[in-house]
Chains A and B, each alone.
Chain A
Amino acid sequence: MTALLEVRNLTKSFGGLKVTNHVDLTLEPGARMALIGPNGAGKTTLVNLITGALAASGGSVRLMGEDVSALPEPVRAARGLIRTFQVTRLFGSMTVAENLRIGAIHRQRRSYAILRRTAVEQALDEAVARVLAQLRLTDRADTPVARLAYGEQRLVELGIALVMEPRVLLLDEPAAGVPQSESHIIMDAIDDLPEDLGVVFIEHDMDLVFRFATEIVVLVSGAVICTGTPSEIAANEEVRRVYFGEAAH
């Protein structure tokens, strides 16, 4: 089976600073990969390089066997490579349902439709309603996102990605800023995703990491220092020293 996502030798420098240092990653179908590392380790940058939001200085990204390194971000997204943002980026003038609808419009390739056709509208409405229900946002559908609490905004951020029905989903700290009492809604939604999908999630909360990850990648100063199953990572001396040592103070 070909891997969903294969990152080889990915490198990025900002001026003299190597923010991503020869990173290799392989994401198999069904994987739930946690990307962990201290602040400033280059986790978000790595996501930006994989999606094409940032141009890499070197290396390659393959999506379902195909080299997408030269493709712009929207083309990679249209092929099922979808991400969420660490700092919520919603369509601020719109309601919850309208935000998800923008995702559905792109998923169903209707962004040039200048007629309101019933069949098209129904398909869009259905896709939106499904994700609203999944994230328990149905009664918030018509609320402007600007009026939501931050935790709910994080749910909408995730919802926009879910409605895209991604093949590979990159989640940048999906539960950050969400009250403990609601973070399970986000993690449940991630748990409910189709089996064959590949998920990479950046997360600082080690409880969530060890509960949901099938695989953990540790990034320090732009380089992968260690990859393994949760139990391997928990037992790894170097990780304990570099990562948990730093996080513990």
Chain B
Amino acid sequence: MTSFPTRILGDLAVPLAGLILLALYPSQQAFLAQIAITAILVLSLDLVVGFAGLATLGHAAMFGAGAYAAGLYALHVWSEPLTGLIAGALAGAVVAGATALMLMRAHGLTFLMMTVAISQVLYEIVSKARDVTGGDDGLFGFTMQPVLGVWEFDFFGKLAFWYSLAVLWIVFVLLRRLMVTPFGQTVRAIRDDAGRVGSLGGRVYRHRVVVYTLSGGIAGLAGALSAQTVQVVGLSSLSVTYSAEILVMLVLGGTGRLWGALVGTLVFTVIHHYAASIDPVRWMLFIGLILVVIVLFLPGGLTRGIALIHAWLTGRRAP
């Protein structure tokens, strides 16, 4: 059990990091909002990959579903943002829940291939339904009402930054809590040895469906935030390429420790930002090299590295 001050500090880390980044890059708020939204998505991915131990290449399907749902909701129903977030989260959860009923019967490579297949089916559907989704052109033309009727969305992304940071904070704090509940511990136990949990009376399939649905809901929430702050939804939000990219972020930061999702997203996006402006063609090569080094020499990702350094400095053994 971590001590009380450590826990509070952990809870405050997200707003602190947000403020520091804001001080460092005061004119880049739209970019910082993008990082926060991606971090929510990668956190939701960590729930599936890191905590449930299920490697997926289809996670963007839920993000995209949430983004399109929030866009359509704003366009046709109501352009109020908070209910839009709920619409996005529900869409993500429905896509995840419905597909989980099939997915969680599969294992290993079959599971991975099914996540790709489901993603591509959804991509095709959205791409063909031009009348509704805008197809290749994307979904646009919606504007958002002020958040809570007070804060207007602006061209510079000022509101987008605070809005996304607030949602990221809430998601992070809630997930940290969830991990130490009996449910969270059961999910981890299933990752370690599903058969053993079954021998204790645990229903592995049901827990996996629940955790996948929950994760889909959070991914959908991130999608909705993206739709509302950028006010365009593109097909790429649903793509397997994007799923792979967020998986790279997670592995970079370290799976199964929530922090990893935050660190990985930040490092990846910042490298992307700079490297792509220096060399827009070969920046992916650079990311690839870093990833190879991490996978070979630091399988727990950057946060594992930080934990090792911390343990070394304090003279304790790393957890």
Whether A51 contacts B199 by the Cβ 8 Å rule is yes
Whether A91 contacts B200 by the Cβ 8 Å rule is no
Q: Given the complex of chains A and B, what is the CA–CA distance between A155 and B74 in angstroms?
A: 58
Q: Which listed residue (A73, A75, A114) contacts B183, Cβ 8 A?
A: A114
Q: Mark A121-157, 1 if CB is under 8 A from B, else 0.
A: 0001000000000000000000010000000000000
- Shortest C-beta distance, A216 to chain B (Å), equals 25
Is the C-beta of A77 less than 8 angstroms from some C-beta in chain B?
yes
Q: Given the complex of chains A and B, what is the CA–CA distance between A116 and B184 in angstroms?
A: 10
- Shortest C-beta distance, A37 to chain B (Å), equals 22
- When distances are taken between beta carbons in the complex, the residues of chain A under 8 Å from B203 are 74, 111
- When distances are taken between beta carbons in the complex, the residues of chain A under 8 Å from B197 are 102, 106
Q: Which listed residue (B180, B189, B193, B195) contacts A116, Cβ 8 A?
A: B180
Q: Which listed residue (A90, A92, A94, A110) contacts B182, Cβ 8 A?
A: A110
Q: Given the complex of chains A and B, what is the CA–CA distance between A73 and B202 in angstroms?
A: 9
Is the C-beta of B152 less than 8 angstroms from some C-beta in chain A?
no
Is the C-beta of B178 less than 8 angstroms from some C-beta in chain A?
yes
Q: Which listed residue (B178, B191, B199, B202) contacts A114, Cβ 8 A?
A: B178
Whether A114 contacts B181 by the Cβ 8 Å rule is yes
Q: Which listed residue (A75, A91, A120, A160) contacts B192, Cβ 8 A?
A: A91
- Shortest C-beta distance, A226 to chain B (Å), equals 29
Q: Mark A92-128, 1 if CB is under 8 A from B, else 0.
A: 1110001001110111001111111000100010000
- When distances are taken between beta carbons in the complex, the residues of chain A under 8 Å from B201 are 74-75, 77-78, 106-107, 164
Given known A-B contacts A77-B200, A78-B201, A113 and B182 have beta carbons under 8 A apart = yes
Looking across the interface, which residue of chain A has its beta carbon closest to that of B187?
A111
Which residues of chain B from 172 to 192 have any CB-CB distance to chain A below 8 Å in the complex?
A: 177-178, 180-186, 188-189, 191-192
- Shortest C-beta distance, A142 to chain B (Å), equals 9
Q: Mark B194-223, 1 if CB is under 8 A from A, else 0.
A: 011111111110010010000000000000
Whether B185 contacts A101 by the Cβ 8 Å rule is yes
Whether A102 contacts B200 by the Cβ 8 Å rule is yes
Whether B195 contacts A89 by the Cβ 8 Å rule is yes
Q: Given the complex of chains A and B, what is the CA–CA distance between A120 and B210 in angstroms?
A: 21
Q: Mark B249-278, 1 if CB is under 8 A from A, else 0.
A: 000000010000000000000000000000
Q: Given the complex of chains A and B, what is the CA–CA distance between A106 and B177 in angstroms?
A: 20
Q: Mark B270-294, 1 if CB is under 8 A from A, else 0.
A: 0000000000000000000000000
Looking across the interface, which residue of chain B has its beta carbon closest to that of A115?
B181
- Shortest C-beta distance, A89 to chain B (Å), equals 5
- Shortest C-beta distance, B47 to chain A (Å), equals 13
- When distances are taken between beta carbons in the complex, the residues of chain A under 8 Å from B204 are 74
Q: Given the complex of chains A and B, what is the CA–CA distance between A128 and B197 in angstroms?
A: 17
- Shortest C-beta distance, B198 to chain A (Å), equals 5
Whether B210 contacts A91 by the Cβ 8 Å rule is no
Q: Given the complex of chains A and B, what is the CA–CA distance between A111 and B204 in angstroms?
A: 10
Interface majority SS on B: helix, strand, loop or mixed? Answer: helix
Which residues of chain B from 60 to 102 have any CB-CB distance to chain A below 8 Å in the complex?
A: none
Looking across the interface, which residue of chain A has its beta carbon closest to that of B207?
A111
Q: Given the complex of chains A and B, what is the CA–CA distance between A120 and B181 in angstroms?
A: 10
Is the C-beta of A82 less than 8 angstroms from some C-beta in chain B?
yes
Q: Given the complex of chains A and B, what is the CA–CA distance between A110 and B201 in angstroms?
A: 11
Whether B185 contacts A116 by the Cβ 8 Å rule is no
Q: Given the complex of chains A and B, what is the CA–CA distance between A128 and B201 in angstroms?
A: 17
- Shortest C-beta distance, A193 to chain B (Å), equals 17
Residue among B177, B181, B197, B200 facing the most chain A CB atoms (10 A cut-off): B200
Looking across the interface, which residue of chain B has its beta carbon closest to that of A75?
B201
Given known A-B contacts A116-B180, A120-B182, A106 and B202 have beta carbons under 8 A apart = yes
- When distances are taken between beta carbons in the complex, the residues of chain B under 8 Å from A101 are 185
Whether A113 contacts B183 by the Cβ 8 Å rule is yes
Q: Given the complex of chains A and B, what is the CA–CA distance between A94 and B186 in angstroms?
A: 11
Q: Given the complex of chains A and B, what is the CA–CA distance between A120 and B71 in angstroms?
A: 42
- Shortest C-beta distance, A99 to chain B (Å), equals 8
Whether B196 contacts A116 by the Cβ 8 Å rule is no
Looking across the interface, which residue of chain B has its beta carbon closest to that of A83?
B199
Q: Given the complex of chains A and B, what is the CA–CA distance between A98 and B187 in angstroms?
A: 13
Is the C-beta of A208 less than 8 angstroms from some C-beta in chain B?
no
Binding site for B on A (CB under 8 A): 51, 53, 73-75, 77-78, 82-83, 85, 89-94, 98, 101-103, 105-107, 110-116, 120, 124, 144, 160, 164
Further pairs besides A74-B201, A77-B201, A94-B192: 17, Cβ < 8 Å: A51-B199, A53-B195, A77-B200, A89-B196, A91-B189, A91-B192, A91-B196, A92-B192, A93-B256, A103-B200, A105-B182, A106-B197, A112-B183, A113-B181, A114-B184, A116-B177, A116-B181
Q: Could you jot down 30 A-B contacts, CB within 8 Å?
A: A73-B198, A74-B204, A75-B201, A77-B200, A78-B201, A82-B199, A89-B195, A90-B196, A93-B256, A94-B188, A94-B189, A102-B189, A102-B200, A103-B200, A105-B185, A106-B186, A106-B197, A106-B201, A111-B186, A111-B207, A112-B207, A112-B210, A113-B182, A113-B183, A114-B181, A115-B181, A116-B177, A144-B319, A160-B196, A164-B200
Binding site for A on B (CB under 8 A): 177-178, 180-186, 188-189, 191-193, 195-204, 207, 210, 256, 319
